[in-house]
Amino acid sequence: MEAQQAAPAPEGVGAVINLPEEFRNANCLSIAEVSFLLDGIRERDAEWDPSEIFKKTQQYAQVFSQTTRVASEEVRALLNARDLQEFERAQLVNLAPETTEEAKVLVPSLERFDEDALQQILGDLAALKRFAK
């Protein structure tokens, strides 16, 4: 009897993150980090006339980032110290779930964490968010 091979996991984010090849080694940024990055690009050359897409992207990032550079760096440091994949870190910051149940629904790969460990991560993020405003 021949052993059956398991079908490869579909691309996407489920209990296991299986991103398309071109995204597997990409850096994931929070919306705030995108905002700071785009601001820096514009500040380098005051005479540069960015495209409409660049301007709209920058405006979107500024509206939804709502944090300071220092707070953003503290959040990244906090999450880097946890057993999280880069994609999970970015999703937790950008989606800002309030409960462990919400976090696991939004980012299914977080199912591997027990409730207490994930609640600690969310609590630490919430504390940093309160002090960043």
- Structural domains in the chain? 28-132 (1.20.1250.40)
* Eight-state DSSP code of residue 13: E
Residues in the chain: 133
Distance CA 93, CA 95 (A): 6
For the stretch 62-83, pLDDT in tens is: 999 878 889 889 999 999 999 8
**Residue type present at position 122:** L
For the chain, the first-to-last Cα distance in angstroms comes to 64
> Residue for token digits 């992207």?
57
In the prediction, which pLDDT does 21 show? 77
Separation CA 106–CA 97 (nearest Å): 8
- 0.85 exceeded by pTM: no
Between CA 111 and CA 14 the distance in angstroms is 9
E strands present in the chain: 12-13, 17-18
3-class SS at 17? strand
Q: Is it the case that residue 6 has pLDDT exceeding 50?
A: no
Local confidence band at 129 (pLDDT 50, 70, 90 cut-offs): confident
